[in-house]
Amino acid sequence: MSVTGPRLQPTLAELSRPGRGGYPVPHPPSDALDRIPAEHRRPAPPGLPELAEPEVVRHFVNLSQLNHAVDTGFYPLGSCTMKYNPKLGEWAARLPGLRPPPPVRAGRGSPRGPSSSSGPSSRPSPRSAAWRRSPSSRRPERRAS
């Protein structure tokens, strides 16, 4: 029995060609890493594949088409049965306001007990947790030059 069908895909490593593609990231200054001691540095970049954007997109789109998924058909598989998720959820999960940085708040415990033992200068305040937009909060000010 064949498990892969006719659309077997090469791997990223097989598609890679030295000097090809690479995402256009702004180049940092050439001395950016000079302050990091040599013993901590990686001698050469990691062996990641080198591909152009359309190759990456085609690779993963082609791979996706090898799947049976809840969006392509009934998925009645044992303990991992998939239920259809309304697309509204995918939309909502991508609202920028629902993707803020993690909360900054006191931990629930430390090895030496609850935080209440600390002095007033370091007492954590749960109110510092969220950056909800309150009526009094102002837009960022820029320095007046």
Cα 78 to chain centroid, rounded: 30
Nearest approach, Cβ of 21 to another protein (angstroms)?
A: 6
- Compute the least distance from the CB of residue 127 to another protein, in Å: 6
Rounded Cα gap, residues 33 and 37, in angstroms: 8
Number of chain residues interacting with another protein (CB under 8 A): 111
76 lies in the binding site for another protein (CB under 8 A): no
Max Cα–Cα distance, the chain, nearest Å = 73
Contact by Cβ (8 Å): 59, 49:
no
Q: Least distance in Å: CB of 6 to another protein?
A: 10
Q: Within 46-75, which residues bind another protein (CB under 8 A)?
A: 46-51, 53, 56-57, 59-61, 63-72, 75
Which residues ranging from 99 to 128 are in contact with another protein (CB under 8 A)? Answer: 99-113, 115, 117-125, 127-128
Nearest distance, CB of residue 119 and another protein, angstroms: 8
Cα separations in angstroms, 129 against 64, 103, 115, 126? 40, 5, 15, 5
